[in-house]
Chains A and B, each alone.
Chain A
Amino acid sequence: MFSPVWNYLKGYVIIKASGLSAGKFINMTSYYGINLWDIKNDGKAYYIKADIKDADELKEISRKSGCRTEVIKYKGLPVLVRKIKKRKAYALGAFIFAVLLYFLSGFVWTVNVEGNYRVPTEEIKEFCQQNGIYPGALKKDIEQTKAAELIIANFKDISWASVSVKGTEALISVAETIPQTEIIDNSYSCDIISDMDGIIENITVISGTPLVRAGDVVKKGDVLVSGRLEIKDGDEVKGEKYVKAEAYIRAQTVHKLILKVNLNQKSKQYTGRSTKRLEIEFLGQKKELGFDAGYNNYDKELFSDLSLKIGDYKVPFSVKVYNINEYETVLEHITEDEAAEKARDYLEAKEEELFGIESYVTDEKISTDVDNDSFIYTAFITVSQKIGVENPVAYNNDTLRGENN
């Protein structure tokens, strides 16, 4: 009944009672049936809390008791309400806030997709956007059942979909079909030929006749696995059949790579001069504001981004501040060691691109040379890699021949 929350809701007044008859004042208030709480005494005066509705009566009692009282503060909800009533703009702000909240909650602000593994989320989101489900769309315009049906119809890999709107989030739940097995076209016959020189490391044939074995030296264009199968009866060849040769062949190959590194490298040297530039974007239109400091070369660095987002929806107005740092291009002479390191780093980064994914370097021989301002880095790299490409043969059938010959 006298909890701080209840007191706050009802409103209360803090009174300072001082003077010789302060004790009398307190006793009289309780005699008149006024509730007091949190009575504190700091040695000079009493601080009393009482109901806001008893404030007038307390004044009367203080007059009767001859005690000096003053109201320190009015507190509580009724006081707040009275204050708000005076501040029209404040009340209007609260009203506008409520209206705006109601208005904005009528839109979808985030679109989430769940349940997809093979179909990219972006693809589903893009399709939904074309069909009216996007951040900023009106919730009442979304036809959930129809949208779900459209998703199922459009994506082959989606067998079930549901679109639900919860709050301001559109949730697209999908279930994918069982992945289709890859269809390998075996209708033609072919050989496997080497696409580079090398020494065979190992060979695993799935179909066809192997013509090389581990340790063999092969040249580019050599047939590694033939698509021709001999049908034998003992030692006698009864016929032949042409199939699509399939095999997994690894070989050691040697690659010669020459890299030229300029010993005079261009590098940026910041002058220390910088300025700021403002970029305002409104409805896709960009406008740059800022002083043209007349820099020849400069770097643009994002300093602050004042773009607004509601959920996934980007407000079509943004302000970006960039730091413009001036620099001068200077020629820097690098040492041979540094040049070699640059070449090595470049090679390491490009290894996969040069030799394919299932490859690894087994040996490396390096020679270096300097020609004027160029550092020449020559590398003989031995790589263990997968080789062999299909080479279709003229016979496009699998008939048995020779039986009647």
Chain B
Amino acid sequence: MARSIRKTFADAFELPAEAVSALPVITLTGQVDMIIENYGGVVEYSTEKITLSTACGVLKIEGSKLDIKYMNSQCVTVTGVINAFSFVE
């Protein structure tokens, strides 16, 4: 309910969705570097799979030689060879 109100508010004022509803912003550079902003926390971490919790579900990143290059409360940078990523509700 709260999410739909925020979405309606954002649409009405043409505000960026991530600013209003804390949705994750994902920036992918090739397949070597991925920056995820507005994440909740790290759920699972191995060299083949990294799982992060976000406002719109669990983000699953799969690949090889995966590393968390940098991490703070706002964003996390994943490096390695990223093969796939998906959201699981």
State the CA gap A47–B26 with chains docked (Å).
25
Contacting A at CB under 8 A, from B20-35, are none
Interchain CB contact under 8 A, B72 and A34: yes
A 1-36 contacts with B by CB, 8 A: 2, 23, 26-27, 30-36
Q: Are B45 and A46 in contact (CB under 8 A)?
A: yes
Say if the beta carbon of A37 comes within 8 Å of chain B. Answer: yes
**8 Å CB contacts to B: which residues of A33-55?**
33-41, 43, 46
Beyond A30-B72, A33-B72, A33-B73, whether A39 also contacts B67 by CB under 8 A is yes
* Interface hit among B5-13, B36-44, B55-63: B36-44
Question: Quick one: which of B43-89 are within 8 Å of A by CB?
Answer: 43-47, 67-73, 76
Q: Smallest CB-CB separation from B40: which chain A residue?
A: A27
Count B interface residues, CB 8 Å. 15
**Does the CB pair A35–B72 fall under 8 Å?**
yes
B72, A39: Cβ atoms under 8 Å? no
Contact B71 A26 (CB under 8 A): yes
Contact across chains for A36 and B68 when beta carbons are under 8 A apart: yes
Using a Cβ–Cβ cut-off of 8 Å, how many residues does chain A contribute to the interface with B? 18
Q: Are A41 and B73 in contact (CB under 8 A)?
A: no
> Complex formed: what's the CA distance from A32 to B73 in Å?
7
Interface centre among A23, A32, A33, A34 (most CB of B within 10 A): A23
Cβ-defined contact, A41 with B72, below 8 A: no
Given A41-B46, A41-B47, do A36 and B70 touch, yes or no (CB 8 Å)? yes
Q: Is the CB of B72 within 8 A of A23?
A: no
- Shortest distance between the CB of B34 and any CB in chain A (Å): 14
Task: Fill in one digit per residue for A138-153: 1 if any B CB lies within 8 Å of its CB, else 0.
Answer: 0000000000000000
Complex Cα–Cα for A108 and B73 (A):
60
Contact partner of A37 among B43, B47, B69, B73, CB < 8 A?
Answer: B69
Contact B67 A26 (CB under 8 A): no
What would be 6 A-B contacts, judged by CB atoms less than 8 Å apart?
A: A33-B72, A35-B70, A38-B67, A39-B71, A41-B47, A43-B46
The 6 closest A-B pairs by CB, nearest first: A39-B68, A27-B41, A37-B70, A36-B71, A35-B72, A30-B73
